[in-house]
Amino acid sequence: MPRPMIIAELSANHNQSLDIAKQSILAVKKCGGDAIKLQTYTPDCLTLDVQNPYFQIHSGTLWDGKTLYELYEEAYTPWEWHVELFELARSVGLKIFSSPFSLEALELLESLQCPMYKVASFEITDTDLIYHIAKTHKPIIISTGIATEEEILQALQACKEANNHDITLLKCTSAYPAPLQEANLLSMPELGKTYGVKYGLSDHTQGPLSAIIATSLGAVMIEKHFILDRALGGPDSAFSMDAQEFEAMVTQINLTTLALGTPHPKPQTDKIKQQRKFARSLFVSEDIKKGQKLDTSNIRSVRPSDGLPPKYLKEIIGKRASKDLYRGKPLEFGDFV
């Protein structure tokens, strides 16, 4: 089974420091990640700077007490950083891409030759934005966190209208952090089966377990929030993996992929042929004189495998030895008549 692409979501974990953002890219590469993902927006891309109750967060999240505008002002990645971050990631062989939250963000990312795009969970209802992203004809990843079946179908239709069929749907639980009992990972492969697309996991649970299970269920990509060190704090730090945890997860995913192997039996290797030496076969278990009958007292199925296969035992019983046979001899077809 191919190993899933492992994506580190930087999100707000740069804490408005370009240096931390750069260090994060280098750390993801060192940890064995395949890609780093940014979020390209300004607060004005996402919401209005309004203080009324509609725009205040009071829904049992880590960000309660803030307005939407305040949260996004704290979390956004400055657009002027993008050139340097893209150049750095590419220089160390790390794939870098982003989630655009507006047509202006998409335009910026296109100017940087962004290789693929992700539609965030809460943007799945914005089919006009999805259509324009899909029009780039680059791979498009869509997170399904809050989506109804109808909304997923509408998002996929927007991609098809743009003649873009390179689509991956990500199973996502839109809770931060997400309780393990709400992960519902068995629904992930159903996305592929139901909608005829590739599937993966955008994981907000804590620890590597969900990512490892997703690997065993055939995910083509796994996305986890990444932070250099949770001690840095910030709006996403509580549910992000630090560098040490991320590296351990990559190792576990690699080992899981190795153990899963392939659904097709492997051809006999020299090693397996060697091991077959210890399979059972038919041996002479007592000395037998020429003309003496073969029976279960003088022919036995034992290890190793140098004699006839045990399946012949019933056919052989009652036949007579064609010559003297000694105890410990592997039985051969010429030994009896």
Spell out the residues 6+ positions from residue 192 whose beta carbon is closer than 8 angstroms to its own: 169, 198, 199, 218
Answer yes or no: do 238 and 129 share one domain: yes
Answer yes or no: do 230 and 98 share one domain: yes
Alpha carbon 336 to its chain centroid, in Å, reads 58
Q: Are 162 and 142 in contact (CB under 8 A)?
A: no
Give the C-alpha separation, 321 to 290, whole Å.
5
Answer yes or no: do 175 and 305 share one domain: no
Q: Say what percent of the chain tops pLDDT 70.
A: 98
Angle at 99 between CA 240 and CA 209, to 5 degrees: 30
Give the C-alpha separation, 141 to 108, whole Å.
18
Q: Are 218 and 234 in contact (CB under 8 A)?
A: no
Please say if the pLDDT value at position 61 is more than 70. no
Answer yes or no: do 15 and 162 share one domain: yes
Answer yes or no: do 184 and 210 share one domain: yes
232-285 pLDDT, tens digit per residue, is 988 888 889 999 999 999 999 999 999 999 888 777 677 777 888 899 999 999
Helix axes 243-260, 18-31, angle to 10 degrees: 30
115-139 pLDDT, tens digit per residue, is 999 999 999 999 999 999 999 999 9
Last residue of a domain, one of 260, 283, 309: 260
Give the C-alpha separation, 223 to 210, whole Å.
11
Answer yes or no: do 18 and 81 share one domain: yes
Give the C-alpha separation, 101 to 46, whole Å.
7
The answer to whether residue 265 is domain-embedded is no
Answer yes or no: do 133 and 241 share one domain: yes
Closest alpha carbon to 298 in 317, 277, 274, 315: 317
Q: Where are the alpha helices (DSSP H) in 118-269?
A: 127-134, 149-161, 187-195, 209-216, 243-260
Q: What is the pTM of this model?
A: 0.86
Answer yes or no: do 218 and 325 share one domain: no
List the beta bridge partners of residue 98.
38, 117
Domain that residue 312 falls in: 270-335
**Among 27-31, 145-149, 234-238, 325-329, where is mean pLDDT lowest?**
234-238
The CATH number of whichever domain residue 319 belongs to comes to: 3.90.1210.10
Q: In the block, which residue shows the tokens 């991956």?
A: 168
The CATH number of whichever domain residue 244 belongs to comes to: 3.20.20.70
Answer yes or no: do 138 and 108 share one domain: yes
Please say if the pLDDT value at position 200 is more than 70. yes
Cis-peptide into 304, omega within 30 deg: yes
Give the C-alpha separation, 168 to 201, whole Å.
10
Domain count, the chain: 2
Q: Which two tokens stand for residue 321?
A: 């030895």
The answer to whether residue 287 is domain-embedded is yes
Answer yes or no: do 29 and 148 share one domain: yes
Determine the average pLDDT of the residues in 16-45: 97
Please say if the pLDDT value at position 220 is more than 80. yes
